[in-house]
Amino acid sequence: MSDYLYLYRGGNRTGSPEDMQQVMQRWIAWIQDLQAKGFLKNAGEPLEDGGKVVRNRTTVTDGPYVESKDIVGGFSIITAESLDQAAELSSGCPIFDVGGIVEVRPVLEFNL
């Protein structure tokens, strides 16, 4: 088993309070299902808009400013047998219901 990072990108974050509540309930159910099946290592956290970008150790600017489809809205870490299985497990993610994507990245095992 290896670790994989899910980066949640884009997606429409607008709608009625009822719509947003339904989306949140789908997220909770999906995360709980991954956890119950033993795949979830870290549920991660949603990210707020904005932040800072640091370049060259000293240059700090507001941002990140990217196209809305590229905005990272949150992350999770899962454990799976392979990259293919990790990608398959992401297929239930509710972000697809609002036009977003899941970037699935292997976490490099780093031994100190």
pLDDT digits (tens, 9 = 90+) for 4-20: 999 998 877 777 888 88
Considering the domain boundaries, does residue 111 fall inside one?
A: no
Considering the domain boundaries, does residue 49 fall inside one?
A: yes
Considering the domain boundaries, does residue 112 fall inside one?
A: no
CATH number for the domain harbouring residue 7: 3.30.70.1060
Which domain does 20 fall in, by range?
2-106
* Mean pLDDT calculated for residue range 66-91: 85
pLDDT exceeds 60 at position 66: no
Considering the domain boundaries, does residue 91 fall inside one?
A: yes
Specify the number of domains making up the chain.
Answer: 1
Tell me the pTM.
Answer: 0.79
- For 45-85, the DSSP string reads -B--S--EEEETTTEEEE-----GGG-EEEEEEEEESSHHH
Considering the domain boundaries, does residue 44 fall inside one?
A: yes
